[in-house]
Amino acid sequence: MGTMTFGEAWGFGASFAEVKKMFELYVEAGGNFFDTACNYQGGAAETALGELTSQERDRFIFGTKYTMSTVPGDVNAWGNHKKNLRRSIEGSLRRLKTDYVDLLYVHLWDYTTPVPEVLSALDDLVHTGKVLHAAVSDAPAWIVAQANTWAEAHGRSPFAALQIEYNLLERSVEHELLPMARAFDLPVLAWSPLAFGVLSGKFHDGTLSSRRGEWANGYLGPRADAVVPVVIAVAKELGVSPAAVALAWLRGRAATIFPIVGARTPDQLRDNIGSLAVELSPEQRSRLDEVSVLAPTFPAKMWTNSLVVDGVLSGGTAPNLRGWEHPR
């Protein structure tokens, strides 16, 4: 369960009373993993989570993040470097009312701090027990591969999980990030599985044509206009919500992909949880795959050219040679 909506400091989200209801609903359904960050709702998300879990801390799994600025105007209060890592983890532990977090993510690669500094600093926290596992979010595949290769070579804690945006409207991660995760045996936590609500169908059902929030605007356009109607059609066939269909599609991509669901109301969360019971038929999944698929990029696109694969690569000796394909 994502906690970006735990608070109202950003002009959207839920009050503590509503957060408590969603927390109880999620836990009652068997949920125990919460995804948060040092900067969500100005720290209110971690504070709310700490209040709600303080009596049973070890029952729950916390994944929090550092990198983003928490003190505007302070050059030392953002980035992947050791100083920001130290101040961020101490603040998170205080707000979460705990002495350790299960996962600590590098929230965004800053292209400034060297890989060895980041990995060695995170490894120090693992050895102190304040962090059980290091993880990474929103970084390119080559950075993650470099980092985990360096960690293995130097006996340091590697990134144990990858968090990326993944949904029916954002499938470019299938080009490099998902194959990399599979190669390094990394579980994938998918944020924005509903594309900030666009895959719920609310912008395509005729009721919200004049409400296009800043977060959703990046997804609206020709691609959404092609994909979302198919999601809505499948939802009608199954008698469920479009959001449930989008989540079911994502869960079915691989056993190691875990959608991070987020909600502003208990009803939204209840619907998200209900997606666990949704089973897409092979035909329905194929329709969703086909309307949302992206063409491969270089160099993977070379494997779609039979002149390359069957000709100049294998000299006609391997007509059934298979290379890159979208992860299934």
Q: Which residues are catalytic?
A: 40
Helix (H, G, I), strand (E, B) or coil at 328: coil
Place of tokens 């977090």: 101
- CA distance linking residue 121 with residue 108, whole number of Å: 16
Helix (H, G, I), strand (E, B) or coil at 63: strand
- CA distance linking residue 93 with residue 88, whole number of Å: 9
Place of tokens 């299934």: 328
Helix ranges restricted to H, the chain = 16-28, 44-53, 82-96, 115-128, 141-153, 177-183, 214-217, 222-238, 242-251, 266-274, 282-292, 306
Are 199 and 253 in contact, with CB atoms under 8 Å apart? no
Segment (H or E) for 188: strand 188-191
Q: How far is CA 52 from the centre of its chain?
A: 23
Are 227 and 291 in contact, with CB atoms under 8 Å apart? yes
- CA distance linking residue 104 with residue 137, whole number of Å: 10
- φ and ψ of 126, to 5 deg: -65, -40
DSSP 35: E
Q: How far is CA 142 from the centre of its chain?
A: 18
Are 51 and 17 in contact, with CB atoms under 8 Å apart? no
Helix (H, G, I), strand (E, B) or coil at 170: strand
Are 179 and 153 in contact, with CB atoms under 8 Å apart? no
- CA distance linking residue 323 with residue 121, whole number of Å: 37
Are 120 and 86 in contact, with CB atoms under 8 Å apart? no
- CA distance linking residue 232 with residue 317, whole number of Å: 46
